[in-house]
A and B are shown apart, each in its own frame.
Chain A
Amino acid sequence: MATPASRHPGLSNGQAVDIQSLPIMATAGFLESVAQAVAQGMRVSAFFAQPLDQGRLRLWAILAQDSQSLLFPYCTDLEDAHYPALTPRCPQMHLFEREVCEQWGVEPRGHPWLKPVRFHAPYRQGQANAGSGSGNQVGVTDYFRVEGEEVHEVAVGPVHAGIIEPGHFRFQCHGEEVLHLEISLGYQHRGVERHLAAGPDRRSLHLAETLCGDTSIGHATAYCQALEALAGDQASARAQMLRGVALELERIANHVGDLGALAGDVGFLPVLSFCGRIRGDVLNMTGLLCGNRFGRRMVRPGGVGYDLDSAVAAELQKRLDILEKDLTVALDLLWGTSSVMARFEGTGAISGQTCKALGLVGPAARACGVERDIRWDMPAGIFQFAQIPVSTWGSGDVHARARVRWLETFRSIAFLREQLANLPAGEIRTPLGPLAPNHLAVALVEGWRGEICHVVTTDAKGNFSSYKVVDPSFHNWFGLAQALRNQQISDFPLCNKSFNLSYCGHDL
């Protein structure tokens, strides 16, 4: 059969395409093409169902070929309410197939374990929730169990001990050793994606900003990029630069917070305190841009909500100097403390092979030595003109995930310095024209946790006909479960923090 790449020339990040120009594949060919593409090293960035008229469904797969900076949208119109599952051939599909099944009642036959993802009512009336589990009562499902005389089960959550979002974790343990961790989420499900699909309306942008509120800039940028692609308009160079500044500030704030929290989880309180305070200072830098510490109001369709004058740019430069100095002292102390390193090194390791099979993204993938970064592989906006080197570390453990954050933080600081010194002139926001009807747009952004993917299709009137959000956490939660294999259960908090995944971004 034809190689997948020959079917469509491929899209670049932030590009829209007329759906009528795309071949609608027969289901068998579609499945084969996806499997082949993944076998050839492409990644599944998104997989979802779009409702057509008369209850029919179209399955979409967005495949990313990082080496060529191209995205391949494949689609098929389903004839039946089932199809042969891809997961047995393609492990990174496991959660996507469960998701489509839960939402639309389409059964991927042969899926190893078809459990609910978010425990919500089916999207279509009169349709049963497929898969194992009793209806949509959250947390009530079959869990993987290990049997044996000295085996015990530990259940944690949904409500946790700190100020943390809810989720349920089940450990199968033999003594202190974790044989298996199962993560069951859905407690934060608030219908974001379903409501986005009814847009665009005056709430859509705000849903994008709050679907994962610690990544407001990342998700709002993806939303706006998709809209701009559909409208055929571009944000000005100045606006794109300002978005990039906000995105990197968001990355720095979260990475610094995570490094502090990692120190805290091994009981090294000085660095916890230093980094906690420094993180707040970085949030205040975002506050200086737009008045809100989480970057709300900053990214807007067609550009940004606020301009930056030279006085504020100078102030930010000054704060970057202080930030770099304080952070260097704090993190040198971290790396120089042998009791910290003893806990970080070798804990929760994942191999590069497992990382690729599961389709992990972001710092979690780069910590396995896998060079994967949307800013580099599929640059959009400012990253087409200003590149940040990809930060990797090979060991795949807690130490590597910490080191990648550390490298990225300093590289982001360097990027910010350069951008703030070279503000291009121009408008900050240009009004968008109407959205093209019957088009598909894909927007990817490298958020601080990894690849953010928004896929939008429009109907004949230019309204959304489907809206798919893939938060990096969707790819990475299973990585955390893998990292816990054969670890001490007491290392869970540390491993968990080294991923620091989003519950609300997953639950939507």
Chain B
Amino acid sequence: MLDIILARMQQKHRTMKFPYGPAPQMPPRYLGRPAVMPGDCPSGCNICREVCPTGALGRQGRLGLDMGRCIFCGECAPVCPAQRLRFTQDHRLATGSRADLLVDSEVIRPASPLDAQRKRLFGRSLNLRQVSAGGCNACEADTNVLGTIGWDLGRFGIHFAASPRHADGLLVTGPVPANMRLGLLKTYEALPTPKLVIVVGACAISGGPFAGHEEVADGAGDLLPVDLYVPGCPPHPLTILDGLLRLLGRLPEPGKD
């Protein structure tokens, strides 16, 4: 017993201050929220789209980057001759709608809180069921990390449940292979209503690096009503936490913090 106490003292208290103190610092090479800078693309330029592995860049009228498809491989920004693409250090990527994932400026459009009724139900206690449907285990791992003592998700009343019957929401990762479609839908049905759906990672939003493969459904978006989109490949744990806390209305709006 004494050795446990001594080891515990050596390991120290580790839970981060965030969101009541500063957020953990991102590594300098982290690629966060993309920004499309004002200006014009040189006429006929297609270079960024040629290097993008997932078709995340489009130019209907104006240049746009779809964070739902982007795997943050970083190939596009350095090849742009007009320097119109930039990746900021901002971890706040989660949005409440698919359309808000389309970036065509420097403006941030973070997720807004749930409606009053659902916020009253889930705001202080949220049990999530996680289903990995073809995820590569990186999104899963960095969701799992939120349960470690550094992040301590439990202090926000958010827990992962072992059964869909005990859950208020579903957190989906992966592009949803044909072989997991039934498993995912059955899990969703088994959740009592009202229920939330959170999709984490490019895969679950759009199919990610596997988009277009006939073996997958290109994510859960067409199968389930999604309340929160968390882009990334994988998203940093802080991005996932940020999304969850915004959904529950527990973070101030950007610019007001």
List the interface of chain A (C-beta within 8 A of B). 118-120, 138, 158-159, 161-166, 186-192, 194-195, 202-203, 205-207, 209-214, 216, 270, 273-274, 276-277, 279-280, 283-284, 287-294, 296-297, 305-306, 326, 329-330, 332-333, 336, 502-504, 507
Contacts and interface: CB of A to CB of B under 8 A. Distances in A.
Pairs A-B, 10 closest by C-beta atoms: A213-B136, A291-B29, A213-B138, A191-B215, A161-B162, A276-B148, A138-B179, A191-B213, A287-B27, A203-B53
Given A210-B138, A330-B11, 7 more contacts: A190-B177, A212-B136, A276-B147, A283-B145, A291-B29, A333-B4, A502-B137
Nearest to A273: B149
Interface in B119-151: 130-145, 147-150
Contacts of A283: 145
Contacts of A206: 53-54, 71, 73, 209
Contact of B213 (A188, A195, A277, A332): A195
B130 A163 contact: yes
A333 B145 contact: no
Contacts of A502: 137
A291 B3 CA distance: 37
B210 A162 contact: no
A329 B11 CA distance: 8
A276 B149 contact: yes
Given A202-B51, A203-B209, A213-B234, A186 B179 contact: yes
A270 to B, nearest CB: 5
A336 B7 CA distance: 12
Given A119-B179, A163-B143, A330-B7, A189 B215 contact: yes
Given A191-B214, A206-B73, A277-B148, A333 B137 contact: no
Contacts of A214: 136-138, 141
B72 A296 contact: yes
A280 to B, nearest CB: 6
A504 B135 contact: yes
B93 interface: no
Contact of A166 (B141, B145, B148, B180): B180
8 contacts: A162-B130, A165-B132, A270-B7, A288-B28, A290-B29, A330-B11, A504-B136, A507-B177
A133 B74 CA distance: 44
Contact of A273 (B71, B142, B148, B180): B148
Given A213-B137, A280-B148, A502-B137, A274 B11 contact: yes
B183 interface: yes
B83 interface: no
B65 interface: no
A62 B177 CA distance: 30
B251 interface: no
A205 B142 CA distance: 22
Contact of A187 (B29, B150, B179): B179
Interface in B13-30: 14, 26-30
B73 A191 contact: no
B213 to A, nearest CB: 4
A119 B209 CA distance: 21
B231 to A, nearest CB: 14
Interface in B73-118: 73-75
Contacts of A297: 73-74
Contacts of A293: 142, 234, 236
Contacts of B183: 158-159, 166, 187
Of residues A118, A138, A326, which shows the largest number of chain B Cβ atoms within 10 Å of its Cβ? A138
Interface string B11-55: 100100000000000111111000000000000000000111110
